[in-house]
């Protein structure tokens, strides 16, 4: 390392030993997670230059390492390597990474095409390499490249793939994902997703791209294993120094916390991913659409409608059926509904329904219930109820609590005084779900209907619980609504949120548990890859909610 650092500033003389030493230093730096140092050493090795017969190898090594830190640089060097590589296996390796990078730019079609081209050139015995490229082709469909009907070919993998290797696990992850989008049984989809994560092959890769597909299945199925795997992804991403994996983790963990109702931490993580996305070098394309769409959804739930509008302004034009663009459409739809803008909501609903109809699972894309709410605002309640009933059927087929509870809640709201049974079932279903925000919404709708039915005494308890849960989640608009309903029922709600362990957000609880176990703030910050200030804020909130004053009291308060 000391010699390599000297060589970074030494004159370029074309000495073979210099290129060899710098390449070895680059590999060592990459192994210990110093990705930027590895890139510096490998770039200098390329500039030496190395012997001509080694130049392609250096280009490939450099490009693969740059995928961790800079998409534009990786595209340049991997593209050069791909053009001159003659070994089909190594070409497939370069093609896999190029395909992944192109999916995040404005050229996902190039990604799908290069994956097909490289797969066709592989010899028969290279089955795992072929499976990797097959998984990338399937993922490209959701980035707007390829035919959605081709996804049906993955049905043959629903029982899993007997082969070992990363390629088999990648295809299993994509199969579970596509099955989930079609509202296959949640338990079966989750079983396949968990199989793809067994052994840690996908998590230990330099990129965790396909891990997101498996995790999306687990999150939508309301499985607690998702949180465990996110911790493993975080550790692997920081161990390898992969900016790409970190930005993906922050975005999709933020999305996970949005689904679970931890809105404050969700917003923090997603805003962090915006900056990381810019640092990685991709500020346009289908990948960036996810960031701004999910951020807008989070801000609507927080009650920050101006912030949601600002986020959506970062992605003003949506034309295709990509999953990322549909997240933007969902954000627009929810913003229009929150503002009470009926005409805008109807227009956004038609756009979302037209481009999102291929997703049947409301856990991932509730376009039918959102459109139903817009139709109801426009006085077209019969159409709205039919659409909500259709979404409820899909939610029952999938079987996960969050999706089912949401569908029941919306249908109950649309049926007015005839919707009590649906709202009661929604509350029961969501009691066993990690989705605190959706549970709060169901409680608020249930209590509001009881209040309108002139049963104020019955209404107060669900409304009180809704207010407390909404406050814990950071859902200020919902908390205001529940508080207003409580006043209308004749109650005088407390201004403070629920206290005790139940009041803690998942992030606050995690930090409190670690502190109760004797870890210092610095150790907690390092272990969770957050700043010490973040740890202090979480602990301060935990002390207040638990009614304690010091760290010594944490263990007893947590039970």
**pLDDT-based confidence at 484, cuts 50/70/90?**
very high
State the chain's mean pLDDT as an integer: 92
Q: Region 60-72: what's the mean pLDDT?
A: 95
From the list 233, 258, 255, 232, the residue with the least C-alpha distance to 244 is 233
pLDDT at 545: 86
Q: What is the mean pLDDT of residues 423-448?
A: 96
Please state the φ and ψ torsions of residue 165, each to the nearest 5 degrees: 110, 160
What values do phi and psi take at 340, rounded to 5? 75, 25
Q: What percent of the chain has pLDDT over 90?
A: 77
| pLDDT band at residue 215 under the 50/70/90 scheme | very high
Per-residue pLDDT of 24-64, as tens digits, reads 999 999 999 999 999 999 999 999 999 999 999 999 999 99
> Distances from the Cα of 289 to the Cαs of 327, 358, 417, in angstroms?
7, 18, 39
pLDDT at residue 281 tops 60: yes
Whole-angstrom Cα distance, residue 104 to residue 75?
11
* pLDDT of 319: 78
User: What is the chain's length?
Assistant: 559
What is d(CA 13, CA 290) in angstroms, rounded to the nearest whole number? 46
Which 8-state DSSP code applies to residue 224? T
List, for residues 151-170, the tens digit of each pLDDT value. Answer: 788 899 999 999 999 999 99
pLDDT of residue 426: 98
Whether the predicted pLDDT of 495 surpasses 70: no
**What's the confidence (pLDDT) of residue 496?**
47
Q: What is the pLDDT of residue 537?
A: 81
Residues 6+ away with beta carbon under 8 Å from 124 = none
Of residues 320 and 55, the one with the higher pLDDT is 55
Q: What is the DSSP string of 42-98?
A: HHHHHHSPPPHHHHHHHHHHHHHHHTTT-HHHHHHHHHHHHHH---HHHHHHHHHHH
Could you check whether the bond before residue 49 is cis, i.e. omega within 30 degrees of 0?
yes
Rg (CA), the chain: 25
* pLDDT at residue 521 tops 70: yes
Place of tokens 């920081």: 238
């Amino acid at each position: 390392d000391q010699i390599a650092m000297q060589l970074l500033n030494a004159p370029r003389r074309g000495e073979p030993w210099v290129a060899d030493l710098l390449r070895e230093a680059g590999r060592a730096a990459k192994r210990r997670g110093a990705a930027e140092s590895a890139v510096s050493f490998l770039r200098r090795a390329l500039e030496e230059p190395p012997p001509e017969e080694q130049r392609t190898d250096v280009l490939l090594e450099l490009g693969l390492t740059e995928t961790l830190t800079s998409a534009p640089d990786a595209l340049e060097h991997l593209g050069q390597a791909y053009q001159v590589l003659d070994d089909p296996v190594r070409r497939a390796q370069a093609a896999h990474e190029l395909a992944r990078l192109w999916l995040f730019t404005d050229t996902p079609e190039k990604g799908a095409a290069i994956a097909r081209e490289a797969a066709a050139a592989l010899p028969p015995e290279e089955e795992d390499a072929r499976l990797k490229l097959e998984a990338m082709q399937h993922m490209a469909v959701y980035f707007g490249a390829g035919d959605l009907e081709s996804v049906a070919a993955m049905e043959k993998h629903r029982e899993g793939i007997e082969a070992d290797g990363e390629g088999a696990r990648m295809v299993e992850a994509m199969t579970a994902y596509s099955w989930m989008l079609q509202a296959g049984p949640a338990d079966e989809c989750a079983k396949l997703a968990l199989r793809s994560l067994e052994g840690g092959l996908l998590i230990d890769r330099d990129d965790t791209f396909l891990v997101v597909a498996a995790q999306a299945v687990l999150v939508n199925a309301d499985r607690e294993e998702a949180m465990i795997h996110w911790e493993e992804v975080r550790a692997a991403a920081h161990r390898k120094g992969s900016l790409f994996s970190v930005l993906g983790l922050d975005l999709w963990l933020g999305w996970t916390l949005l689904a679970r109702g931890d809105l404050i931490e969700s917003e923090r993580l997603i805003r962090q991913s915006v900056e990381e996305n810019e640092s990685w070098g991709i500020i346009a394309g289908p990948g960036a659409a996810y960031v701004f769409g999910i951020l807008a959804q989070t801000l609507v739930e927080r009650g920050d409608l101006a912030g949601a509008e600002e986020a959506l302004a970062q992605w003003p034009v949506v034309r295709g059926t990509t999953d990322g663009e549909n997240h933007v459409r969902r954000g627009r739809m929810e913003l229009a509904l929150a503002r009470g803008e009926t005409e805008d909501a109807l227009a956004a609903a038609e756009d979302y329904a037209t481009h999102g109809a291929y997703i049947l699972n409301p856990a991932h894309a509730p376009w039918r219930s959102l459109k139903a709410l817009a139709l109801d605002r426009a006085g077209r309640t019969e159409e709205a109820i039919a659409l909500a009933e259709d979404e409820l059927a899909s939610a029952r087929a999938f079987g996960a609590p969050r999706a089912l509870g949401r569908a029941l809640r919306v249908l109950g709201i649309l049926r007015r005084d005839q919707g009590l049974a649906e709202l009661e079932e929604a509350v029961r279903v969501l009691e066993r779900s990690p989705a605190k925000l959706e549970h709060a919404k169901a409680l608020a709708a249930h209590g509001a209907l009881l209040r309108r039915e002139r049963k104020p005494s019955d209404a107060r308890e669900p409304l009180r619980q809704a207010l407390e849960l909404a406050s814990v989640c950071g859902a200020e608009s919902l908390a205001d609504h529940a508080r207003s309903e409580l006043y209308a029922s004749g109650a005088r709600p407390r201004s403070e949120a629920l206290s005790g362990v139940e009041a803690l957000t998942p992030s606050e609880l995690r930090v409190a548990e670690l502190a109760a176990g004797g870890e210092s703030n610095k150790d907690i910050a390092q272990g969770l890859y957050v700043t010490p200030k973040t740890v202090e804020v979480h602990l301060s909130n935990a002390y207040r909610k638990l009614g304690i004053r010091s760290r010594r009291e944490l263990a007893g308060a947590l039970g």
